[in-house]
Amino acid sequence: MSTQMDWQDLAMSSHYLTALEVKNCLKQGNIMEATTGLEALIEAMGRSDKRALRSQLIRLMAHVIKWKCQPKKRNSSWSTTILSARNEIEAIQEDTPSLNQNTIDSIWDKCFEKAVKEAETEMNQKCSLICLSWQEVFEEKYSLFDEN
């Protein structure tokens, strides 16, 4: 590797290959180059975790929206998806503690917009919701058992 851009490209395409290249630099005693590669790898992994968080938040919000907009069509698959997405977000946050509530707050509005579009497409109808609260997304129970 010869430049910062090369490291960034490699790190974006493969975390594993980047780690191997960092290892090779260390074996060759090229500490500066290994450090540059490691920094690019850390940055790329952080972006990857944030993308995963954003994806799970959109998935979670879309199912909450469907739950709220189509009460007669609720099914166990929706409640399972809500639980699963919450668990995935929790796991991402455990692995990357910097992806905390502040991070979620910073992406909330864009994720909600995308979730509305996703839910509307799946429901084949317009969504009447203008927002979702933290409580609705992360704390409310969504279970068919609660309705009986």
Decide: pTM greater than 0.75. yes
Q: Are 68 and 129 in contact (CB under 8 A)?
A: yes
Phi-psi region of 125 (alpha: psi -120 to 50; beta: other; left: phi over 0): beta
Report the interhelical angle of 31-69 vs 4-13 (nearest 10°). Answer: 40
pLDDT in tens, the chain (148 residues): 555 559 989 988 899 999 999 999 999 999 999 999 999 998 888 888 999 999 999 999 999 999 999 999 999 999 999 999 999 999 999 988 889 999 999 999 999 999 999 999 999 999 999 999 999 999 999 998 865 4
All structural domains of the chain with their residue ranges: 4-147
Token digits of residue 75 = 């099914």
